[in-house]
Amino acid sequence: MGGDGKKWGVFLLPALATLSFVFIAPICILIVLSFYQMTGPAVVGDEASLSNYVQFFSDPFYLRILWNTFTLGGLVVLFCLIIGYPVSYFLARSNSRWRGFLLFLVVSPLLVSAVVRNIGWFPILSNSGLVNWLLLESSIISKPIPLISNFTGVIIGLVHALLPFMILTLTTVIQRIEPELEDAAASLGAGPVTVFTQVLLPLSIPGAIGGSLLVFTMAIAAFTTPVIMGGNRVLVMATYIGQQFRTVLDYAIGATAAAILLILVGLLTVVASKLGARKVEAM
Amino acid sequence: MTHLVLDKVHKRYGEAVAVREVSLQLTDGEFVTLLGPSGCGKTTCLRMVAGFVKPDAGTITIDGVDITNKPPYERDMGMVFQSYALFPHKTVAANVAFGLKIRRVSTAESDQRTKEALNLVQLEHLADRYPSQLSGGQRQRVALARAVVIRPKVLLLDEPLGALDLKLREELQIEIKRVQSTLGITTLFVTHDQGEALGLSDRIAVMRDGNIIQIDTPTKIYERPNSTYAANFVGRTNLAQVMVRKADPQAGYLVEMVDQPGVTFEVAGDQPQQFLVGERCSLAARPEHFDIGSTDGNTVEAVVTDVNYRGSIWNVELLAKGNWPVSAQVRPGGRVPTKSETVSLGWHPSRSFLLKLSDDEKI
Ligand SMILES: Nc1ncnc2c1ncn2[C@@H]1O[C@H](COP(=O)(O)OP(=O)(O)OP(=O)(O)O)[C@@H](O)[C@H]1O
Ligand SMILES: [Mg+2]
């Protein structure tokens, strides 16, 4: 096996070279950039310092962006968990003939381009859209609730986009929980709520952590959806970085924000996978 | 006092009938086993009693209270599964205490009862372990303790020994029986292993295709099965086609071999069914009821075709007159015949019994 592996390694070299050029090099350049000061549009000086980072973590403007980003990620994860768990449970346990169809529905957001997926929400969520029309017609509200081109819109868009990842992760985890554990708990007197809190939930935690992390990371890194669904009004890390590089042309602070996002995501990944692993080991 | 009654309980899955109008009564403290081959509806029956499966028709009552539509968590049943179904994230003690916690039993009492239950299955020293740190046999003992600690009305066991190896199975059989009789718990046990059924049960219900075809004590089931099916499913049976020549309620029957006219046997003792003179039926006898070399009672001439040593006994295969293949036994100390030897095969008239021909045997 070992010898074979080495032989095939030769064929991997071109791919590895390309990947390191495409992925690693830009990240390195980005990190280097974050230590310099902007001297003009798209230009940086030649004196390296940590001042960008100091500025980032002391200026309320940047802290606000960071906070927005984390709130967004957290809310998206929360909604994905709440909506995803029942669906995953059904997918994991049912052998109904609707299962296949539901699975298709679940992964369908992955099959559409982000732009189409987001634009599709406009007729539904805009002030004259379906939801507001229904609410107005039935006199539940007197003037339209803004559901799109704001933070709410971004959450809706991201939950829609990332739900498949949560559901697929949770489904695998729930499938690994023996159905007879639920029966055993029920026979011992546990009603559905207790079965959920005492058996299903604790055993789903490793999967829930994994899925949440995946969704959180993708939510705070997402760019297209916050731009379209937020109507250019929602400032999170990704949209801020985009602005710096594309319109403000302050590469230095843009690179700083990008590096911070990168490090935070990396740290989160490490922490969560440790937590998940410990949980699994205890069983 | 727990009295469990299933009354004409019926369950269909689509077109297929899993359980067909099964009626069954368990009296207080009784150990009843559902015995039958794979797919005959044992688990479905048990799960209907537990409340996991809803019967299409019929009722299930406990002490006269109809529980047919009660959810499982309101039924007070202790259930043991083949797969153990221990909560992997809880310690042994927490597993056992689970049902008590739900019943809001005080911590002190819960600890005490958990300890007692673990004591009962001799596992108190493993209370702090996780299920993954236990052997299969230990896991099933924990499951048993967890099921009985809530003092259930009925204990339900679905092939609890199915995943264990032979030696452990025998050990755990004794354990289950001991716990059950100590606590005097009404028990419904499911197995396809006749040895378990015979060894544990007060009564055995033999199932076939969703029906209970016979329900009786282990000895009755073994000595007087009411069908070829039951006779073959529980123990080994030697069957010969015979014709009833005389039928007398007191003295019993006189039967003649169909394939060897002139050879007749007497059949004495209770028969599960009535037979008429001239009726064709099966004569049945268990291997251990034959006496090789005997000239008492019924006798038939037979040639030894094979002899096998089985540790505690010798298995002797013979071909009796009328092409009747017979398997008999010789206990230690008895004379072991040699292959190709012609012997007289004898048995007491009350040791054999008659069975109605099944539909496929009639042709
Ligand atoms: N959920 C189900 N859906 C459809 N058919 C089922 C279901 N559960 C059981 N059956 C069918 O009902 C019949 C009885 O099944 P059951 O599980 O009660 O058998 P069993 O006697 O317990 O068998 P085994 O010894 O294999 O456990 C079988 O034919 C089975 O295929
Ligand atoms: Mg079964």
pLDDT tens, position by position, B20-35: 999 999 999 999 999 9
Domains of chain A: 51-113+147-282 (1.10.3720.10)
- Judge whether B162 is closer than 8 Å to chain A, CB to CB: no
pLDDT band at B319 (very low <50, low <70, confident <90, very high): very high
pLDDT given at position B118? 96
Q: Higher model confidence: residue A37 or residue B44?
A: B44
Lowest mean pLDDT among A83-92, A204-213, B47-56: A204-213
Question: Which residue has the least CA distance to atom 7 on ligand 1?
Answer: B13
Give which of B36, B29, B21, B41 is closest to B4, Cα–Cα: B29
pLDDT band at A4 (very low <50, low <70, confident <90, very high): low
pLDDT tens column, A195-210: 999 999 999 998 898 8
Q: What is the mean pLDDT of residues B134-162?
A: 95
Q: Do A184 and B77 touch (CB under 8 A)?
A: no
Lowest mean pLDDT among B12-26, B200-214, B348-362: B348-362
Chain B residues closer than 8 Å to A187 by CB: 50-51, 72-73, 75, 77-79, 147, 156
Q: Is the pLDDT of residue B115 over 70?
A: yes
| Alpha carbon distances (Å) from B136 to B129, B163, B343 | 14, 8, 48
Q: Is the pLDDT of residue A7 over 80?
A: no
Chain A residues closer than 8 Å to B146 by CB: 184, 188
Is the Cβ atom of B172 under 6 angstroms away from ligand 1? no
Cβ atoms of A212 and A269 within 8 Å: the answer is no
Q: What is the mean pLDDT of residues A224-252?
A: 90
Question: Which residue has the least CA distance to atom 8 on ligand 1?
Answer: B44
Q: Do A187 and B78 touch (CB under 8 A)?
A: yes
User: If you ran DSSP here, which 8-state letter would residue B303 be given?
Assistant: E
- B295 Cα to chain A: minimum distance (Å): 58
Q: What is the mean pLDDT of residues B199-206?
A: 96
The radius of gyration of chain B's CA atoms, rounded to the nearest angstrom, is: 24
Is the Cβ atom of B208 under 6 angstroms away from ligand 1? no
Q: Which residue of A has its CA nearest to B77?
A: A187
Give the percent of chain B with pLDDT over 90.
82
State which amino acid sits at residue A240.
Answer: Y
pLDDT band at B222 (very low <50, low <70, confident <90, very high): very high
User: If you ran DSSP here, which 8-state letter would residue A248 be given?
Assistant: I
For residue A78 the two structure tokens come to 């929360």
Ligand 1 pocket mutation, candidates B11, B20, B38, B44, criterion most atoms within 8 A of CB: B44
Q: How many CB atoms lie within 10 A of CB B37?
A: 12
Q: How many CB atoms lie within 10 A of CB B301?
A: 14
State how far the Cα of B1 lies from the Cα of B27, in Å rounded to an integer. 8
Q: Of B88, B99, B130, which is closest to A188 when you measure between CB atoms? A: B99
pLDDT given at position A13? 87
The alpha carbon dihedral of B27, B30, B31, B35 has a sign of negative
Is the Cβ atom of B51 under 6 angstroms away from ligand 1? no
Of all helices (H) and strands (E), which one includes residue A89?
A: helix A60-93
Cβ atoms of B188 and B26 within 8 Å: the answer is yes
Q: Do B102 and A178 touch (CB under 8 A)?
A: no
Q: Do B76 and A189 touch (CB under 8 A)?
A: yes
Q: How many CB atoms lie within 10 A of CB A137?
A: 8
pLDDT band at A172 (very low <50, low <70, confident <90, very high): very high
- A106 Cα to chain B: minimum distance (Å): 29
Q: How many CB atoms lie within 10 A of CB A27?
A: 12
B271 φψ region: left (φ > 0), alpha (ψ -120 to 50), beta (else): beta
Ligand nearest to the CA of B40: 1
Question: Which 3 state secondary structure label does DSSP give A200?
Answer: helix
Give the percent of chain B with pLDDT over 70.
99
Q: Which residue of B has its CA nearest to A191?
A: B73
Q: Is the pLDDT of residue A1 over 50?
A: no
Query: Tell me, what's the ipTM?
Result: 0.86
Lowest mean pLDDT among B100-104, B259-263, B315-319: B259-263
State how far the Cα of B56 lies from the Cα of B228, in Å rounded to an integer. 30
Chain A residues closer than 8 Å to B87 by CB: 181, 184-185, 198-199
For residue B175 the two structure tokens come to 């354990």
Is the Cβ atom of B18 under 6 angstroms away from ligand 1? yes
Q: How many CB atoms lie within 10 A of CB B288?
A: 15
